[in-house]
Amino acid sequence: MTIFRKYFLKEFFRYFSIVLLAITSISVVAEFFDKVRDFYAHKAPALLIIQYLLLQTPRVILYALPFASLFSILITLGIASKWREIVVIKASGSSTRKLFSGFLLLGLLISLIALLLGETVVPEATRSATELRKYQLFNESRSILHKKEAIWLKGLDKSLIRINGFVENGNRILKTSIFTFTPSFGLAKRIEAEEGHWTEGAWVLKNVSIFDFSNKKTEYIDSLISTAIDEPKIFRDEMRKPKEMNFTELYQYYSRLEKAGFKNLKYMVRLYEKLAYPTINFIMILFGLALALNSKWGGGIKSAGMGVLITVSYWLIYSVSVSLGNTGFIPPWFAPWIGPMAFGIAGSVLYFKIAE
């Protein structure tokens, strides 16, 4: 039994490496051709292009892991079935379910690795890739500086602006501070606003406190039109995207929006996706294992074809559920779990139907 288990695990890792490398390579090459016109237009150095593509690789690997797991288990067992190895194991009186139970532990391990990648390497690498593309490859100027609790930017009137957050779907900014300085860089005025919204080409700040240090007076007004803050596009272009944040960072940002009275359903969906997506590695191995041991599919090509069908089905369910979550038709926290749950239930039913 131990010899068989080691043999199948070795075969799995061999195909897993090949499939993961193939998917990753194809995705990275596709990313290159997608940006090749921009690279050429900006005369980007080859070394920076290579660095950019390498920084994109961790995110590609994270998304490729479940499908590499599925294809590998289907090919491994498909070939074993073709050469009657499964029949020999059953004829010897061994339990196929027990023999291949080690793959379930392997699925848990891959899921854990995916979770760690998604919380550490992937957000940092994706963030670095975005910054490299904008500020080194395409020579854009940096307009926003991200800090833990807020974003900082230079005002159109050369003031310094601190904003707690930007609500994308409402063109709103959260608690805002605007600092203006004297020619000798002394603090001349500080404007504090609870929030602001973009109206008719300008930002209208609400519940404003103005501290005028030059004249030593304080003023409180309901609203103030500010021409110091750039238009919303700058925030959409330079704000960190959910894929550039780990679970903690995205949760903290979403919490700031929620405390201010704004709910971004897209951010909530992406937040729970960071927990749901890694589990699909285990579920794909469970589903692939159960399907291969319950079917008479023979060779690796047929198994690969079955893997393509399952992959398309999963992405269809995932895309529909996420879209419904983004619109609020179904609870946003539940949307990313629909795909894993559907395949998990189907895989579990098939797994316990494996003929011993």
CB 63 within 8 A of CB 118: no
Q: What is the per-residue pLDDT across 178-222, written as a single tens digit (0 to 9) for each? A: 999 888 888 889 999 998 898 888 899 999 999 988 888 888 999
Q: What is the per-residue pLDDT across 84-95, written as a single tens digit (0 to 9) for each? A: 666 566 655 566
43 in any annotated domain: yes
Residue 338: band (very low, low, confident or very high) from pLDDT cuts 50, 70, 90: very high
CB 318 within 8 A of CB 339: yes
What gap in Å lies between CA 280 and CA 69, rounded to an integer? 10
CB 193 within 8 A of CB 265: no
**Residues 129 and 277 grouped into a single domain:** yes
Q: Residues 318, 321, 323, CA angle at the centre, nearest 5°?
A: 105
**Residues 43 and 118 grouped into a single domain:** yes
| Domain count within the chain | 2
Give alpha helix (H) positions in the chain: 2-41, 46-82, 85-91, 96-99, 102-119, 121-132, 233-238, 247-259, 265-294, 300-327, 338-351
245 in any annotated domain: no
Specify the pairing of strand 172-173 against strand 176-181. Answer: unpaired
Q: What is the per-residue pLDDT across 106-124, written as a single tens digit (0 to 9) for each? A: 999 999 999 999 999 999 9
**CA dihedral (326, 329, 331, 336) positive or negative:** negative
**Residues 168 and 290 grouped into a single domain:** no
What gap in Å lies between CA 234 and CA 68, rounded to an integer? 38
Q: Which of 160, 232, 220 is nearest to 196 (CA)?
A: 232
The one-letter amino acid code at 86 reads I
**The pLDDT value given to residue 280:** 93
**Residues 198 and 281 grouped into a single domain:** no
First to last CA, the chain: 15
Q: Residues 197, 198, 203, CA angle at the centre, nearest 5°?
A: 85
What gap in Å lies between CA 347 and CA 325, rounded to an integer? 24
289 in any annotated domain: yes
239 in any annotated domain: no
What gap in Å lies between CA 316 and CA 338, rounded to an integer? 11
The pTM for the full model equals 0.81
**The pLDDT value given to residue 298:** 47
101 in any annotated domain: yes
Residue at which a domain ends, from 186, 207, 229: 229
- Region 281-287: mean pLDDT is 91
What gap in Å lies between CA 283 and CA 279, rounded to an integer? 6
241 in any annotated domain: no
Q: Which domain holds residue 74?
A: 2-137+264-351
What gap in Å lies between CA 258 and CA 239, rounded to an integer? 17
Q: Which of 236, 18, 249 is nearest to 123 (CA)?
A: 249
**Residues 56 and 119 grouped into a single domain:** yes
Residue at which a domain ends, from 207, 229, 251: 229
Q: Which of 69, 257, 234 is nearest to 154 (CA)?
A: 234
